[in-house]
Structure 1
Amino acid sequence: MKKPVVIVTELEYRKGEAVFASASDLEIVPGPSAEEPLARLIREKKAFAVVLGVEKYGGPLYESLPAYGIIARFGVGYDGIDPVQAKEHALFVINTPGVLEGAVAEQTLFLAGALLRNIALLDKKMRAGTWTTHLGTELKGKIWVVIGLGAIGKQVSRIASFGFGARVFGCDTRLSDLKDLKKVCGIESASKDYFEIASAADMLSLHIPANRKTHHYLNSDRLRVLKSSAILINTARGSLVDEDALYDALAGGKLAGAALDVYQNEPYRPVHPKKDLRTLPNVVLTPHTSSSTAEACKRVAERVLQNIRYARTKEYQKMDLVF
């Protein structure tokens, strides 16, 4: 009997190669991430499932899969998937919650540390043969405002509070019991209103989903509320930040620094050619790698295949269904 075919975009295949290669019950085929050639490969192989990265898909992909086929995100965010087209073509969309939050939270703290202790700048100077010092800043006692108290936001709160002694303030429109947040996550204060809490921030990190409502969530108005000594960390989605407004704030001394792992355009390309974040000395940049640890990628690949197998056996209630 022919094995069911699953196409996995090449980058995601490499991230979980050991897991995908050991799947004896499925034919796992690496494929391009570009939509049109990916759709052709799906039709050619008669695949019933495709595993995708963070790219946006708007047309041929949905037509190439059979009804009740699977679109699986290699990760949690699914803003690259068009829910209308997925539903029109009777496709299941799944993700992998609960397996990469720790990796993203760690990267958030590491990026903050790189800024606060001038790691990237000092490394660059050392490689150039310059022995010099720059005063850094400690996390202990500083106010870290966490925007979005989902799984990642709560993990960041725990590490910053219990691990580093920071004073963590939380902001979430679905705010739950503060007493529980204090006990479990070390959150000292919380609000549903950004403007009520953000002005206190020494560090502010974003952990909210990307959608129409949160597009350019951090715009010039919200940036204006922050202290000039504050720093921003974004490991969520690039569309949350108005990069032109961020550039202006950083270049104009209205914000002390920014550490970014995600961008409006990926691979990074400045939204405005004269506002290239790479030219600023107070910015630390990484190429959307916060969840890319060997451990997290193994867990994600395993969860992806588990979901696909549930679909094959029609155990839909066990799947991590997005829609």
Structure 2
Amino acid sequence: MSLPKIVFLDRATIPAHIHVPHLPFDHQWVEYDTTTPEQVIERIYDATVVITNKVVLKGELISQLPDLKLIAVSATGYNNVDIEACRANNIAVTNIQGYATQSVPEHVVAMIFALRRNLFAYHQDIADGHWQRSGQFCFFTHPINDIAGSTLGIVGSGTLGQATASLAKAIGMHVLFAERKGAKACREGFTPFEQVLKQADVLTLHCPLNEQTESLIGADELKTMKSSAVVINTGRGGLVDESALVNALKQGDIAGAGVDVFTQEPADNSNPLLANSALPNLLLTPHVAWGSDSAISKLVAILIDNIAAFERGEQQNRIV
């Protein structure tokens, strides 16, 4: 009997210096840094387990893989996998949960400090020589706002939203969890969505992207916010209308934005955020909020444990 074949389609989504633990059973291991859509079928046609982070596995492809038993998603989001096709073909799907509860909140708070205190704008002033020409020992060209005492509005009350709330409270912020947009009633512990928009000095997004949340924050929502407010998106790119966000920054509807996720990744210069990356109140990072070394090490440990649990006949982090 041949050994189970495990194929990792996009190993480059895990930094090379992060060690991937060995599985505790005999197997064949094949990994590729990247895989194009045209290469998928030839690489996994005889695979028992497929590991994917962002490579798309569509239904028509899944149905052509008689040996496939498990798709192990090396991320939390699994919208790149046709779940119904997996269910129909008796293929298990697992994902990774709870690995970035320190990394993402720290990234959010780092963005809050950078934007509320206008660190990037001041750095650019020095780079451009404005301070040196001023003749003053200090140089005030941008507002500097304290973090302690300010209000953080959080959209999404899952693990990451709660972890961000804990860290925000530790640095003296007042936290409001937003009720779902358009909800007729407000749950205990939540604040109506529109009220959070009006009160928040910082709005951070940690909710899933679906039909209800696509373009959750658009022109109308941005105009509702304080002109001194900051928007942080480390959730999913589609949660925010990117063109509306750029317009709001240029028009002064809000004071700043920190964006780690984009509607298309990698983004190119046709993306309005990249096209306006020189704005002093816009801070962009390339989908790395989740990616501290400790978080990624935890992710790969969970990934390997998910596969090992499946081999033992146990259900762990199962989607299907």
What TM-score do you get using the length of structure 2 for normalisation?
Answer: 0.85
Q: Cα distance, 1:167 vs. partner? A: 0.8
Q: Cα distance, 1:90 vs. partner? A: 2.7
Could you list the runs of 4 or more consecutive aligned residues of structure 1 that deviate by over 6 angstroms after TM superposition?
none
- Aligned letter for 1:95? N
> Structure 1 stretches of 5 or more lacking a match?
179-189
Which structure 2 residues correspond to residues 1-323 of structure 1 after superposition, within 5 A? 2-8=2-8, 9-14=10-15, 17-20=18-21, 22-23=22-23, 25=25, 26-31=27-32, 32-43=34-45, 46-54=46-54, 56-58=56-58, 61-63=61-63, 65-66=65-66, 69-127=69-127, 131=131, 132-133=139-140, 134-161=142-169, 163-173=170-180, 177-178=188-189, 190-191=190-191, 193-269=192-268, 276-316=275-315, 319-323=316-320
Equivalent pair of 2:116/2:144 in contact (CA under 8 Å): yes
Q: Cα distance, 1:284 vs. partner? A: 0.1
d(CA) in 1 for partners of 2:123, 2:278: 17
d(CA) in 1 for partners of 2:224, 2:263: 22
Distance 1:260 1:274, change over 3 A: closer
d(CA) in 2 for partners of 1:126, 1:275: 23
d(CA) in 2 for partners of 1:40, 1:60: 14
d(CA) in 1 for partners of 2:163, 2:307: 28
Corresponding residue for 1:185? Answer: none
Q: Percent identity?
A: 27
Q: In terms of Rg, which structure is larger?
A: 2
Distance 1:67 1:221, change over 3 A: farther
* Number of residue equivalences: 305
- Greater helix proportion: 1
d(CA) in 2 for partners of 1:227, 1:158: 24
> Structure 2 stretches of 5 or more lacking a match?
132-138
Q: Cα distance, 1:76 vs. partner? A: 1.2
Equivalent pair of 2:86/2:93 in contact (CA under 8 Å): yes
d(CA) in 2 for partners of 1:16, 1:77: 23
Q: Cα distance, 1:249 vs. partner? A: 1.3
d(CA) in 1 for partners of 2:7, 2:275: 36
Q: Cα distance, 1:15 vs. partner? A: 5.5
Q: Cα distance, 1:246 vs. partner? A: 1.3
Q: Cα distance, 1:81 vs. partner? A: 2.5
Corresponding residue for 1:183? Answer: none
Q: Cα distance, 1:58 vs. partner? A: 3.5
d(CA) in 1 for partners of 2:214, 2:292: 27
Distance 1:172 1:7, change over 3 A: farther
Distance 1:108 1:13, change over 3 A: closer
- Aligned letter for 1:39? I
